[in-house]
Structure formats: C-alpha cells, structure tokens
Amino acid sequence: MTALLWPGDDRAGDLLSDPAVLLAMAVVEEAWLDALVELRVAPETARAPRLSALVTDDDVDAVVATVAAGAEDTGNPVVPLVKLLRDRLGDPHPEAARWLHLGLTSQDVLDTALVFCLRDAFDHLAEELAAQVEALVGLARWHRGTPMTGRTLSQHAVPITFGLKAATWLTAVLDAADLAGRLRWPVQIGGAAGTLAAAVELAGHAGAGDPVATALELVRLAASSLGLDAVPPWHTARAPFTRAADALVTCTDAYGRIANDVLVLARPEIGELREPAETSEGRRRGGSSTMPQKANPVLATLLRRAALAAPALAAQLHLAAAEAVDERSPGSWHAEWSALQLLGRRTVVAASQATELLSGLHVEVGRMRATLDADAGGLLAERRSLAPLFPRDQGIRDDQGPGADPVTYLGATDTLVDAALERAAAYVKGRS
Amino acid sequence: MTALLWPGDDRAGDLLSDPAVLLAMAVVEEAWLDALVELRVAPETARAPRLSALVTDDDVDAVVATVAAGAEDTGNPVVPLVKLLRDRLGDPHPEAARWLHLGLTSQDVLDTALVFCLRDAFDHLAEELAAQVEALVGLARWHRGTPMTGRTLSQHAVPITFGLKAATWLTAVLDAADLAGRLRWPVQIGGAAGTLAAAVELAGHAGAGDPVATALELVRLAASSLGLDAVPPWHTARAPFTRAADALVTCTDAYGRIANDVLVLARPEIGELREPAETSEGRRRGGSSTMPQKANPVLATLLRRAALAAPALAAQLHLAAAEAVDERSPGSWHAEWSALQLLGRRTVVAASQATELLSGLHVEVGRMRATLDADAGGLLAERRSLAPLFPRDQGIRDDQGPGADPVTYLGATDTLVDAALERAAAYVKGRS
Amino acid sequence: MTALLWPGDDRAGDLLSDPAVLLAMAVVEEAWLDALVELRVAPETARAPRLSALVTDDDVDAVVATVAAGAEDTGNPVVPLVKLLRDRLGDPHPEAARWLHLGLTSQDVLDTALVFCLRDAFDHLAEELAAQVEALVGLARWHRGTPMTGRTLSQHAVPITFGLKAATWLTAVLDAADLAGRLRWPVQIGGAAGTLAAAVELAGHAGAGDPVATALELVRLAASSLGLDAVPPWHTARAPFTRAADALVTCTDAYGRIANDVLVLARPEIGELREPAETSEGRRRGGSSTMPQKANPVLATLLRRAALAAPALAAQLHLAAAEAVDERSPGSWHAEWSALQLLGRRTVVAASQATELLSGLHVEVGRMRATLDADAGGLLAERRSLAPLFPRDQGIRDDQGPGADPVTYLGATDTLVDAALERAAAYVKGRS
Amino acid sequence: MTALLWPGDDRAGDLLSDPAVLLAMAVVEEAWLDALVELRVAPETARAPRLSALVTDDDVDAVVATVAAGAEDTGNPVVPLVKLLRDRLGDPHPEAARWLHLGLTSQDVLDTALVFCLRDAFDHLAEELAAQVEALVGLARWHRGTPMTGRTLSQHAVPITFGLKAATWLTAVLDAADLAGRLRWPVQIGGAAGTLAAAVELAGHAGAGDPVATALELVRLAASSLGLDAVPPWHTARAPFTRAADALVTCTDAYGRIANDVLVLARPEIGELREPAETSEGRRRGGSSTMPQKANPVLATLLRRAALAAPALAAQLHLAAAEAVDERSPGSWHAEWSALQLLGRRTVVAASQATELLSGLHVEVGRMRATLDADAGGLLAERRSLAPLFPRDQGIRDDQGPGADPVTYLGATDTLVDAALERAAAYVKGRS
C-alpha cells in the first residue's frame, strides 16, 4: 500500500492497511468456524487449519489485488475472499470449505474485521498518547517558570508561561485519551438480517437442545476468541463506528491545535519554538527543493494537514449512520469502510508525528523572554487598568509601571499547571 | 427568532435562542460579580440586583438586536452587552457597574453562557430520549410477535419481526442517550489569556492572604452558583464543545436512521408503517399544496433533513477545535457559536419530532404479514440452501418447502429483542 | 432577524432574510397569478392587487412568525403562506383567492423565491467584488515597488513585493467573480411532479387551443416578469443551487485566504499589515473587554470565521443534490433552504467586510523593508546556490553576497503584477 | 495500488494513481528541463533522455514506494523524486542531473502533475458523460410514451412518463458535463515564492537579453509541451483545484440522484426498474454471501456510496483554498493532494458504473403501468380538485372520474422531454 500523497503514511505500518483488513476478515471467518466445530454445530471434519495462514506474507498483496478486483460484483470484498479461502482449503479440507462462513453475512465479517483492526490502531494510539502525555508533562514541569507572551486573537495579551501552554496542550491530549480509553470493541454477528436465523438453523440441524441458546453461544465464543465483546447486531445502529471516529478526530484536533502553535511560534520573527531539526535516524528535516537556508516545520505542517482533513471523515461516518435503512443499508454502509481506514491510519500517523514533535521540541527560552520584555508595557496594560479601582493603593505600584516585570503578573499560572499535571498523573496511574 | 426555513424550529422554544444566550451571558456576569462580592474581593457596594433582571421579557428582543448590531466592532457580543448592563446598572449602582466583568474575558462569558444553554438543551433532550425509549420499548414488546420482511441492500432477505426492528432503533437511541448522559458541563473562567491574572490581581488588591487561592475560589463559587463544574480554562482545548456536538449528532443519526425506515415502509407499495395522521392538536398533517389525496410523511421528512445537516455542523466544531491557536483563537472560536446553536436547536426539534413520530406510529400488521407471505419462498431461500449440509435430514423439511411459513425462520429474534429491552430497563433504572 | 452569534450579520440587510424570502414567495405567486389572468387561463376577476403588498413592512415579522409556525404541518412554509394570502385577499377578491397558487406546487414557489433572493444577493456581491477588485488593483499598483519577505511554509523564502501579494489576492477574487458572473437564474415551475399537468388542465378548461403551449407560455411569462430564465423543472436536478453555492464558497475562499495573510502579517512581531483602526462611522475597532492596549484584527477574524464555515454549507447543497429521489425529495430538499440562506447571507457579510478591510488596509512599508534587510542573507540563499552552475561568472557576484540587496532578486514580479492587472482591467471592462 | 475497501476502484485504471502522479511529476521536470535547454538557459549538455523513461513500468511501484517513504522529511514527494531522477541520470548525464528542477519549486511540480493527471481523468470522464448522455437520450426517447407513477415526498403524486424521469436524469448529467467542459488546465510554475526569481537568474547568467521575458518564455514553452495553459502562479489562489472538485462532485451528484431512483424503483414491492443482471463479462452481479435468491442493485449501491462521500472531499479542497496563507501554505496545501486523488478516481469509477447501469437498465413497463392503474383515483385527485373552478364544465368529466386513465393527465411531459433532448443534441454537436 503506497501513499505517495500522504507523506508519513508508512508510520502506520500495517495498521488498517488493506492486507491487515483482509487478514482480519480471515481471522473472523476462522473464529466463527472454530466456534461452529467447538460447539458441535459443524462436524469435527470441518476443523480447519488456521485460515489466516492460508494467506501468507508472500502472497497477501496478490490476494488483496484478487479480492479487490472481485469485490465489485457483489459490492463487497467478503464474497471473493470466502471463495478464495474455500479454494485454498480445497481438497484436503472439503468439509471446512463447506462450512466456512455459514451463519454469517458479509457485513458481519467486514464490520468485525474493521473493529478488529481499529482496536489494533487504538492500542497503538494509546501508546502514542501516553508518550505525548509524558512529553507534555515534562514540558509543563520544566517550563513552569519559563515566562512568555500570551497571545489572543493573534495579538499580545498578558504574560503566561510556556509551562501553561504545554499544560493546555496536555489538556487537549488528555481529553482525546479519555474518549479513546472508553471505547468498546464489539463483534458484529447477526447473519443475513440480524436474526442469527442461519446459525439457529444450523444448531437445530445439529441436534442442539436449545438452538437459539447455542447460536448465541457461538457468538460469545467467536467474540471471546477475537477478544471482542459479544453484543446484539448493530448492522444499522452504527454508534460503535461513529464513537471510534469521534475519538480519532478528537486526537487530530489536539494535534492540529499544537501544530498551529508551533507554526506560529516557529516563524522567524517570533522564533520561540523550533521543531527537532533531524529525524530520529539523523536525517535533516524540513529542507527545501530550492532554498538551502530553509528549515520548514514539517511535522507541524503534516499534523495540520491531518487535522484539517479528519473532521470531514468523521462526519462521513455520522452521515452513513444517519442514512442507514432497512436491515442492512445500500451505499451508506459501503461509504464507511474507506473513511474508517483513512481516518484510522492518518490519526496513527499524526500521533506518531506528534510524539516526535513534542519529544524533540526546542523551546527558545531566551527569545520568549526577549519578546516579553520588549512589550512589557503592553502586557501589563490590563493590570494598570485595574489600579484606579483601589484608591487606597496610592497610585500605580512599582510592579505596574513602565519598568515593571511582566513576570509579576502571571496570576494562577502555576496552580493551573499543577491541575493539568494532576490530571495527567491520574491518567498515567489509570493505565498501569 | 423566526426560522421560516427550518419548519418545526418553534419546538425548541427558547433553548439556545438568541435571547436565551444573551440572558445566559448576563447570568454568568452576575454569578461572577456575586462571587467577587461574596469573597470580599469587590466591596459590598458592588452588590448588584439580579443582572439578568435588567433585561426584561419585554425588551429582550430589542436588547438582542442592539447587542448583535454592536458585536462586530469587537468581534463578539460580550463587549456591547457589558456596556449595556453597565448603563442599566447606571446611577443607582455605580460600584456594581464598575466591577462588572472585572477578571473575566469575553470568551469566558460567551463560552460559559453556551455551556449553560447547552446543558438546558441536553436536559430537555434527556426527557425526549426517555420518551423515545419508552415508545420504542412499547413497540418492541408489542410487536415481538409481528413478523415482517427483513430487507437488506433494498431487497428482501429473511424474515424478522417488527419488534426486532424497533429494538434496533432502540439500540441507536440508547447509544445516543449513553453519550448524552456522560457529558460534563464546565465553566470557562480564565481571564484574558487563561491565567486568571486579573482575578488574582483584584484579590491581592483586596487584601486576600493568598490571592491565587482566592481567585480559584472565585471560580468555584461562580461555577457552583451556575451549577457547572469548576475546571481549568479550555479556551483552546475545545473537547467540551466537540463532545457535546458528537452527542448531538449521534442523536440525529438515530433519528435519521428511523426516519429512513419510515420513509421506505410508508411508501404506498409497501405500506407497512404510517405516520400519525394528525398533530397532537388534531390538525391534519402531511397535506400537499395541490394534491388532496396526499398524506406525506412529514415528520420523517423533517427528521431526515436534520440528520443530513447535523454531521457537517459537528464537523465544524471539530475543525474549530483543530484550528485553535495561541491562547485564544481568531476565527475558529468565532465559527463555533452559530454551529453550536444550530446543531443544538435542531437536535431538540428533531428529538421532539421523533418522540411524536414514535408515539403515534401506525404499524400495519396485516400488510407486513401479506408481504411476508407473498415472498415466503424467497425469504426461506437461505434456509433451503443449508439443507444439503445435513444428509441425515432426508430432503427438504416441511418448514423449508414452498409452502413453509417464514415465521418458522426467525432465529434468535426474540432473544435479541430481550437483550435490547434489558438494556433499556437498565437505562430507565439509571435515570431514576 | 437577529443573529447575535454571527457578528456583522446586519451588513447583509434584508438579503435572503426570512422576510425577504417570504415576500419573494408572494412575488412568485403574484407573477404566476398575473400570467394566468394575462393568458386568460384564469378569469379577469381573478386579477389581484399586488400580492406582495398584502404583507406590509409593519406586519411582515408577524407574518413570518405565523407562517413559520404553520410550516411544520405540511413540511414547508408555502402552504401556510398561501392560506394567509387567500385569507387576506378575502372578500374583495374571492376569485383571486381561488386561483392563487393553482398550477404550482410548493417547491415551485420556494425554489423560485430562493433563486430570486439569491440573485439579489449576487447582485450585491457583484458590487462588492468590483470594489474589492478596485481596492486590490490600487494596492497592486501602488505597492509594485514595495519589497517584502516572501514566506513559504511559514518560513522566509525569497523576496517578493507587496504588489505581487496583492496581485495574488486579486487573482483569487477574480476567480470568484468569474464564477459568480456566469450564474444563470432559472424559475422553477413544474407543478406537482414536474409535468405542468395542472397548468395544462387549467388551460384546457379555459379553452386554450393548445393547452400545453399555453402552459409553457405561462411559465415564460411568469419567468419574464420575475426577470428569471424559463427552463424545464429541476426539482431533482439541483445544479442551479450547487453552482450558486460553489460560487459563494469560492468568494469566501478568497476572503479567507486574504484574512489569513492579514492575521499573520498583523502579528506584532511582524507588523507589516494593519487593519483599519476605525469603522467607517469612526468607532474604534478591535478593542478587548479587558485589555486596553489591544487592537485585534477583527475584520480578518470574522472573515476567517466565514471561510471556515462556508465549505461545509456548500457541501450540504451537493449532498442534498446527490440524495435527490423520486420527482421531489423528502428531506434532502428541506435541508437546502437554510443552508442556502446561511451561505448566501454570510458571504454577503464577508464580502462587505473584505471590501472594508482592503480599502482601509495599512501597509507598513518600513517594517516590510526592515524584515527584508534583516534576513537578506537568507533570502538570497537560493540565488547563491545557483552560482556554481556558472563557472564563467567568477565567484559570487556582488548582488549575491552577504551585503547584497534582496531587491535585486525579485525575478518576474513586476510582469506578474501586470498580468493580474490586465485581467482585472478586462473584468472591469466586461462589467461596464 | 489496491483499494480493497472501494470496490470498483480498478475501473479508474491508472488515472490519478500513485504511479501516474509520479510519472506526471517526471514529465513536468522533463518539460521544464527541455525548455531550459531549448531556450539556451541550460547548456546543450544538459539535454536529457526522456526523464519519465527513467522510471519503467517494471520498477514504477518500487520507485513510488521509495519516494513515498522519503517524502516525509521534506513534507512532499518532489524532493525524493528529484534525488532519485538525478541518481538515475547519473554518470552519463551529469549536466542534466545538475540542471534538473532548477528554477522550479516542489509545489510547481506537484501541482502541475496533479493538473496533468486531472486533465486525463476529465478526458476519460468526458467519454463517460457522452456515453451516459447517449444512453439517457435513448431511454428518454424510447420511453416518452411509457407512463408511470410520479412520486413526491415518497408518496404517489400525479402520472409522469419514464421518459420524463430519464430526461430529468439527463438534465443533471448535462449540468455536470457543462461544468466539466469549461475547466481550463493551467501549469503551476512560479519558483520558490511565485516570482520566477531563479528562472530569471538562470536566464541572466546564461546571457539572455531580457531575462524576465526569457523566464516567462520558459513557462510558456513548458506549458505548451505539457498541453497546459501558461498562467501566472496560483500557489495560494486555488480556484483551479476547487473548480475541478466542484465539477467532479456535480458528476457524483447526478449519479447519486439516479442511483437513488434505481434503489427505490428496484425494490421488489415496486419493481419498476432492474439493474443489468450480469456484468459485461457475463458474471452474475449482486449475489449475496448467504441468500441465493438475492439480486442486489450493486451498481446503484456503489454509486450512492460515491455520491455520499464526494461532497466532503470537494469541501476539503475549498477549506484548503480558504486556509491558504503566505506565498505557499503549510498544511492546507498538503491536505489537497489525497483529496483530489480520491475524488478524481472515485468519480471516474462512478462514471463508469453509471454508464454501465444506464446502458443496461431494465425498464419494467408492465409494472409501471400496473402501479399506475392500481392508483388511478389517487393520481387524478389533483385534476378532480380543479373541476369546481369551471362551472361551465358540468360535473366531473369522464377523464377525471374513478375509471379515468391517468395517462390523460400527463400535462406537458412530452414537450419537456423534447427540451431535454434538444439540450442533449446541442451538447453532442458541441463535442464533435
């Protein structure tokens, strides 16, 4: 899977890649077939080798191409994949080939595979979020005493510390981590129209005393072997996907917010922040194709890109949810897959870039101080405006006058940094 | 506030209306001024009458017009409102006029006012969601034995019951109620750049032993009197708004999903559902301007409209969050206000319409049965396709043949309905 | 119509306001009724006074409220408006009341009214665009010799002139004006399902020789009196609306692009541009509620807001077009109205703000020059990198060295400015 | 390039694929280098073999992977591509390697390559649109006398013909073709900050009499060899991309609109339309993974999917245009590439599917007639409601009564079909 036009895409590795989704579909079929055999709905002879092993690393790209090419006739990739798996089970395992997929519908397999891949992506995201929290806790602590100019509506306002700015970034990251941490990962197993009718039918044929109970036990068993929650079908109640999408975009919101500050503060006229100049492998970053002096803030640029694109993708999932109809939906369901894949991969890429940016961020303490001092008068204008309220304070105090140090007007900055750090500590504790 | 082009808008009453937001801003200023006096930061002479009472029902529209017209010069409505309130406090309360708004910034007032109004909207939504759950529980229970045709990708699939369809709708509504129920409502109080510097300064002037502690106590006191949570400033960490928006759009997702089924099943050729023909006041609904025979499914039409429009509004909030910059943002903050207002009001309108639709929905049991019987062969095709797996069952069983009743192939439908009802029961219990 | 949460909204005056849309609906009904009488389809006794005069300036707000409240029962405001107009025609004009709206369907009236109002909005926009072109031509000409730092990816690149920057802004504005200038304004008259059946029926009853020809003549006559094009019905072929929306968002794209430059270059550390400090009425602009020193770039802030919100609104129109179904659509049609109104008004507001911003923009020539000089070495790095290609040029030339003036490296700047000015001249000529 | 999750993607072949974009970038570099040599700015020794031939069909995938992996360090794929091309020019062509890319900036190369690929996509689209027009003209002509039920707001309205419905689809397709036909394809050549400074510098070094004129001649020459228009740089004036995006989404709007009708009318209870049952290669289409009786409307399903996803992608381009800043933009530029690629490819896929759907559509004339007859009374209700207006017509005429044929109430249907056919004829003529 190349992504020439989304630089950094390789950071996501195989997460939610086409091969990963295809293998996850095979894993889902396998979990279901195993459950059928385990509960003696299917005969022992239907026990199959690991289905996902039928597709090897060597040929997964070819299989993806074959399945992708065959997907249009039925509208989704499950039918051609099942055909291919049956062919490969072939002669040695005719019963497994026969029983494969029985009781499931295409949407069961694809939805569950996407959940499976999303969970992997979120597991990865959780590590990145933790690393970001760690980096931000470090910045907030280290720079709690680093004064800088507070800016509002693009203009100088009152003094802050860089520690406070880092604490605000931290708040946004913790908000995203909160949402991500609450997601549940359900299987989707309902059969043709969400009634489990085929599974019940199979259980009945097989002589189960209570075929319905057996069908539900099949779902539980398959879910358990996939590490997912057993829940009733949600073919047209799509909150599991919209919640995941909302959590993903809340991550990129946080990264975009950070990137915007870096893009502003790394402007040469401001110069208060600087991106890490080299990649972790030691390559120079941010060069230009023509201008040798350039050191473009590439990570912030690519983070901003992701943040600008993510909201529309999450909205796509909501639109698909809103347009669901019947027992399974034509078109709106199909619009979800690629949106989830793109949103998931891009968020993982952005998370990795954000971690790198935060871990290597250069804070130009001297420039911050210099900007602050140069505009001390302006930054204390609010303070001076309050003086007339207090006739008993005779005139403007020393710390309000033209020569006053803006650092004396930091308000509750320290305590607010502490509050963010406490929340981060609770988050870290909650993870361990 | 008229909304000629959003029929049904009046269902939202004053929730998040311009006057409501304006009055909420006054309430926020009041809570803060009270806190200043209460903690002796401001003198007793600054105690004001109820600020929100300075704007009466009679003149609120005029005040809104004045403030709206004056909002452009500073870019937001807080500055002209503060001016107007100071003028009205006028001679009798010069100290109150003087102390009004001190320590706050415009964004504190507007953000908190929007939170305040959103909470009201969600309180209202909670009632609607509960009513919808009740209606859906009723439909799911009553129709657990009402068989109908399951449809997937627009074609007949296998039999379901209308009870199961109602249970799926219920799942979507409970998912939305879940999200809505977890929202927290924070104040936004941080002063010019989120440092509480002015509040600390005022507390110091007033002789507070620990001015920072006093400033934080001011926040707590104001939050408490507003019934909101005291949290650190979130001027540029906008998850409180994006989470609310995500919850709102998850509601309209559920309503859209229901509306689409009604629009399909109320088509004359299908005729399995029918909207309530009259409004609660007994007016005929769904008439046409020219065709006397028409009974258009108006509620479902308007619900679908809301569901098509909501995802982009929620995405707007995410985009604004992602584009935050500095200590307070130019443009992205300003893009939030109207999006929240529109999304909030429209969701309340849709919720009310959904409740009415669900409470008065006509279920044409006979038509459902007739469609099912007419296509019994097709609906049992899946079942027949499973027969060859079981050589010990000699041939096709009676319940699979051409004359078989589709009702015998309902799978785990009943148990799945029970699962949804149990979840609904837990939700109802959790509310009481 | 207040718009507390969209500061500047009053700049749009009545364009696309609720009263304007309502009056336009009355005007459409009037044009049709006049045509019916004119072509003797309706009797002379059906000739009505000016329908739009039945709603006066005094009571239009009340009428809007009444019609808005009555719109839900049928799902659109046309039915209650027709009822109200019939009541008001009342006793003196019973035949007019009877013939009113005959042959039309609700969508005919509302779509045509929206086209009518959109055309007014675009007429207004055209004036603003012309004023912007004029201001930009002035800036491009005046500052063709004002060198400044070119910035790419937020970092210094090579020198440009402010004239060139203005020429680029001009290009974006001319692109928008191009699109806006090509729009056509069609009536929507098709009757219940776009067949003009009722109109043909009425013409037949009235004794027309060729009732179909008469019906089409009715459309032409009504269109002509409204100043709109007579075209076949487009109830479910929505390009007339999506094209208008695309033109509107192309305007806000241009304004957003300009606003972003102003927001960057007006930062105190850069200080190369400054917004007009006072409104046209002489009020100070950009003040803060707490910080007396502040002069926030309010116009750029509000322009950026509009530019961030517009793309989703235009997308809403495309989504509605894509979701059209049957002969007239449930829900997707209804989602268009408010989106068009908001997008249209907001673009007019933004256009007016953009004109004011551009007309009063302060260009800090000295700051531009100072920034340029301070980084002369960097800005000439590209030039120096080219030197080794030319061994016959011995070493680095004077104009490339550390003391070289960046102004010597302006490339084709002047000629490119000329190209933009020529295009502007052609545009101006095309308008006159 | 696999696209497991966008079934049908292979219909787009190489259009806008990663390899196609990469090769187009090489073609752009080649055109520029050729121009440099041609105008003697670069020495004859810099003449290179066909650069695009340096990447062969065999290794293009590997090159894409290499370039994609190297793109993050500088934020775009141009820098690693230039490096790779220089390496491959290597020893035999050291001067070509040296001169490669001189005078250009990354954005010049990538933007122009995207324009180049977009033009190819639109060339392909033009053929599909023409085929769709042909198919629709056929349907409109053939079925001008095929009466069917007109449906509005999901309910029966008045009679139409299927020819009229096809004419309305045709209108939407012609509207899209109109927009597509007006697009212009400009090069993007401006150098580092849009001043052509490096090109002018090179021309000067090379002894050009008027280096600026020579630089502009370089642009013209390169543009001409690429078959693109020579225009001033549009690095931050992005209408060329937004207009293309708007045209693309107007295509998918038309296809979505058609698909929705097919999805409704192919429902078994309605059965008035049916998708082609087999692919052009004779494979059965629309099968289910479990239900043997199913024939899902796969083409309409996949068209609807595309139509639901396209508006957000076009909005992405507008957002990027609106967020442009400086002389070249961080993040917003980067967000365009993938959006254009996805929108372009998906529209081509949808166009191909739409052509196939329209060319093979089964029109169930008998079912249409049967539905019409079954509801003759309802479909004539409007007509009956007009009767009382004409006292001289004694009572309800025969053609209005319960036994009347709805076909007598088709209004101007035929003439409206003619109007659409005339427009189609003009379009066809304009193409030849």
* Pick from A98, A236, A382: CB nearest B198: A382
Interface touch A320/D308, C-beta < 8 Å: yes
Give tens-digit pLDDT for B323-382: 999 999 999 999 999 999 999 999 999 999 999 999 999 999 999 999 999 999 999 999
Among residues A288, A338, A385, A431, which one is catalytic?
A288
Buried b (16+ CB within 10 A) or exposed e, B342-373: bbbbbbbbbbbbbbbbbbbbebbbebbbebbe
Chains that touch D (3 or more CB pairs under 8 A): A, B, C
* Pick from D79, D283, D308: CB nearest A331: D308
For chain B, what is the largest distance between any 2 Cα atoms, rounded to a whole number of angstroms? 99
Residue to substitute from C11, C72, C79, interface B, most B β-carbons within 10 A: C72
Cβ under 8 Å to A: B residues 229-248 = 232-239, 242-243, 246
Assign B57 a pLDDT band (cuts: 50, 70, 90).
Answer: confident
Interface touch D155/B371, C-beta < 8 Å: no
- Chain A residue closest in CA terms to C372: A269
* Pick from C293, C294, C381: CB nearest A292: C381
pLDDT on residue D91: 80
- Chain B residue closest in CA terms to D154: B267
Q: Chain A contact for C10, CB < 8 A?
A: no
Tally Cβ neighbours within 10 Å of residue B83. 17
- % of residues, chain A, pLDDT over 70: 97
Mean pLDDT across the stretch A70-75?
95
pLDDT on residue B302: 98
Q: How far A52 CA sits from the closest chain B CA (Å)?
A: 24
Could you give the C-alpha distances from B183 to A426, B159, B355, C399, C402, in angstroms and in order? 19, 39, 22, 63, 60
Assess whether pLDDT exceeds 90 at residue D287: no
Assess whether pLDDT exceeds 60 at residue A263: yes
- Chain B residue closest in CA terms to C282: B73
Tally Cβ neighbours within 10 Å of residue C90. 12
Q: Tell me the chain D residues in contact with residue A238 when contact means C-beta distances shorter than 8 Å.
A: none
Name the nearest CA neighbour of A173 among A13, A347, A412. A347
Mean pLDDT across the stretch D82-100?
93
* C-alpha–C-alpha distance, residues C160 and C173, integer Å: 20
Among residues A328, A345, A346, A383, which one is catalytic?
A328
Give tens-digit pLDDT for A232-254: 999 999 999 999 999 999 999 99
Contact of A102 with D289, CB cutoff 8 Å = no
Contact of B420 with B133, CB cutoff 8 Å = no
Q: Chain B contact for D309, CB < 8 A?
A: no
- % of residues, chain D, pLDDT over 70: 97
Interface touch A160/B195, C-beta < 8 Å: yes
Q: Tell me the chain B residues in contact with residue D263 when contact means C-beta distances shorter than 8 Å.
A: 154
* Pick from A6, A64, A300: CB nearest D2: A64
Contact of C187 with C229, CB cutoff 8 Å = yes
* C-alpha–C-alpha distance, residues C24 and C112, integer Å: 8
Name the nearest CA neighbour of B233 among A167, D42, D87. A167
Specify the DSSP element, H or E, that contains C239: helix C239-265
Could you give the C-alpha distances from A198 to A216, A220, B392, in angstroms and in order? 12, 16, 18
Amino acid letter for position D26: A
Name the nearest CA neighbour of A168 among A188, A144, A184. A144
Tokens of B314: 């929620």
Average pLDDT along chain A: 95
Tally Cβ neighbours within 10 Å of residue C427. 19
| Class of residue C398 by CB neighbours under 10 A (exposed 0-12, middle 13-18, buried 19+) | exposed
For chain D, what is the largest distance between any 2 Cα atoms, rounded to a whole number of angstroms? 99
Give tens-digit pLDDT for C84-95: 999 999 888 999
pLDDT on residue C2: 65
* C-alpha–C-alpha distance, residues C420 and B238, integer Å: 41
Interface touch B199/A414, C-beta < 8 Å: no
Give tens-digit pLDDT for D128-185: 999 999 999 999 999 999 999 999 999 999 999 999 999 999 999 999 999 999 999 9
Amino acid letter for position D47: R
Mean pLDDT across the stretch B302-329?
98
| Class of residue A15 by CB neighbours under 10 A (exposed 0-12, middle 13-18, buried 19+) | buried
Name C356's Cβ contacts closer than 8 Å, sequence gap at least 6.
Answer: C276, C280, C299
Q: Which residues pair with C172 in a beta bridge?
A: none
Interface touch D297/B266, C-beta < 8 Å: no
Comparing C110 with A295, the larger pLDDT belongs to: C110
Interface touch B330/A158, C-beta < 8 Å: no
Name the nearest CA neighbour of A232 among A200, A190, A176. A190
Q: Tell me the chain D residues in contact with residue C165 when contact means C-beta distances shorter than 8 Å.
A: 327
* C-alpha–C-alpha distance, residues A431 and A426, integer Å: 9
Residue to substitute from B154, B169, B195, B308, interface A, most A β-carbons within 10 A: B195
Assign C248 a pLDDT band (cuts: 50, 70, 90).
Answer: very high
Q: Tell me the chain D residues in contact with residue C196 when contact means C-beta distances shorter than 8 Å.
A: 411-412, 416
Assess whether pLDDT exceeds 90 at residue A115: yes
Assess whether pLDDT exceeds 60 at residue D394: no
Assign A403 a pLDDT band (cuts: 50, 70, 90).
Answer: confident
Tokens of A412: 């509750």
Assess whether pLDDT exceeds 60 at residue C76: yes
Interface touch A382/C297, C-beta < 8 Å: no
3-state secondary structure of B143: coil
Q: Tell me the chain A residues in contact with residue C295 when contact means C-beta distances shorter than 8 Å.
A: 155
pLDDT on residue D284: 87
Tokens of C233: 């019905």
Alpha helices (runs of H) in C273-333, residue ranges in sequence order: 298-322
pLDDT on residue B398: 60
Tally Cβ neighbours within 10 Å of residue B310. 29
pLDDT on residue A290: 80
Assess whether pLDDT exceeds 90 at residue D291: no
Q: How far D159 CA sits from the closest chain C CA (Å)?
A: 8
Tokens of C343: 């997008």
Mean pLDDT check: name the lowest of B85-94, C187-196, C409-418: B85-94
Give tens-digit pLDDT for B275-291: 998 888 888 888 887 88
3-state secondary structure of C402: coil
pLDDT on residue C92: 87
Mean pLDDT across the stretch C393-397?
56
Tally Cβ neighbours within 10 Å of residue C13. 15
* C-alpha–C-alpha distance, residues B62 and B368, integer Å: 55
Q: Chain C contact for D397, CB < 8 A?
A: no
Tokens of A158: 């009152």
CA atoms in the 13 A half-sphere facing the CB of A191: 28
**Angle (CA) B260 B261 B263, round 5°:** 65
Q: Chain A contact for D304, CB < 8 A?
A: yes
Mean pLDDT across the stretch A338-366?
98
- % of residues, chain D, pLDDT over 90: 88
Mean pLDDT across the stretch C280-289?
84
Interface touch C171/D232, C-beta < 8 Å: yes
Mean pLDDT check: name the lowest of A300-314, A407-421, B344-358, D284-298: D284-298
Q: Which residues pair with A186 in a beta bridge?
A: A229
Q: How are beta strands B362-363 and B273-274 bridged, if at all?
A: antiparallel
Cα-based torsion angle of the residue sequence D223, D226, D229, D232 in order, rounded to the nearest 10 degrees: -40
Cβ under 8 Å to D: A residues 255-284 = 259, 263, 279, 283-284
- Rounded to two decimals, the pTM is 0.98
3-state secondary structure of B160: strand
Chains that touch B (3 or more CB pairs under 8 A): A, C, D
CA atoms in the 13 A half-sphere facing the CB of A251: 35
Amino acid letter for position B241: F
Q: Which residues pair with C155 in a beta bridge?
A: C152
Q: Is the predicted ipTM greater than 0.95, yes or no?
A: yes
Q: How far B293 CA sits from the closest chain D CA (Å)?
A: 6
Q: Tell me the chain A residues in contact with residue D286 when contact means C-beta distances shorter than 8 Å.
A: 73-75
pLDDT on residue B368: 98
Alpha-carbon Rg for chain A in angstroms = 28
Specify the DSSP element, H or E, that contains B423: helix B413-431
pLDDT on residue B53: 84
Helices (runs of H) and strands (runs of E) counted in chain B: 15, 4
Give tens-digit pLDDT for B366-421: 999 999 999 999 999 999 999 888 876 655 566 666 678 999 999 999 999 999 99
Assess whether pLDDT exceeds 60 at residue C71: yes
Q: Tell me the chain C residues in contact with residue A266 when contact means C-beta distances shorter than 8 Å.
A: 154-155
Q: Chain C contact for D3, CB < 8 A?
A: no
Residue to substitute from C279, C289, C305, C343, interface B, most B β-carbons within 10 A: C289
* Pick from A68, A82, A105: CB nearest D9: A68
* C-alpha–C-alpha distance, residues B220 and B213, integer Å: 10
* C-alpha–C-alpha distance, residues C377 and C162, integer Å: 20
Specify the DSSP element, H or E, that contains C373: helix C365-374
DSSP string, D418-431: HHHHHHHHHHHHHH
3-state secondary structure of A284: strand
Interface touch D105/A289, C-beta < 8 Å: yes
DSSP string, C5-65: TSTTGGGGTTTT-HHHHHHHHHHHHHHHHHHHHHTTSS-GGG--S-GGGGS-TTTHHHHHH
Q: Tell me the chain D residues in contact with residue C323 when contact means C-beta distances shorter than 8 Å.
A: 256-257, 260, 307-308
Assign C330 a pLDDT band (cuts: 50, 70, 90).
Answer: very high
Tally Cβ neighbours within 10 Å of residue D66. 17
* C-alpha–C-alpha distance, residues D211 and A183, integer Å: 62
* C-alpha–C-alpha distance, residues D82 and C322, integer Å: 41
Q: Which residues pair with D156 in a beta bridge?
A: D151
Q: Chain A contact for B165, CB < 8 A?
A: yes
Q: Chain D contact for B156, CB < 8 A?
A: yes
Q: Tell me the chain B residues in contact with residue A238 when contact means C-beta distances shorter than 8 Å.
A: 172, 253, 257
Contact of D140 with D170, CB cutoff 8 Å = yes
Tokens of C22: 């309502």
Identify the sign of the CA torsion D171, D172, D178, D180.
negative
Could you give the C-alpha distances from A9 to A13, A132, A255, in angstroms and in order? 8, 19, 16
Name the nearest CA neighbour of B305 among B6, B4, B1, B2. B6
Assign C315 a pLDDT band (cuts: 50, 70, 90).
Answer: very high
Residues of C annotated as catalytic are: 288, 328
Q: Tell me the chain B residues in contact with residue C316 when contact means C-beta distances shorter than 8 Å.
A: 308-309, 312
Amino acid letter for position B345: R
Assess whether pLDDT exceeds 60 at residue C395: no
Average pLDDT along chain B: 95
Identify the sign of the CA torsion A179, A180, A183, A188.
positive
Q: Chain A contact for C294, CB < 8 A?
A: yes
DSSP string, D115-164: HHHHHHHHHHHHHHHHHHHHHHHHHHHHTTT-EEEEEETTEEEEEEEHHH
Assess whether pLDDT exceeds 70 at residue D406: yes
Mean pLDDT across the stretch A38-62?
90
Q: Tell me the chain B residues in contact with residue D382 when contact means C-beta distances shorter than 8 Å.
A: 290-292
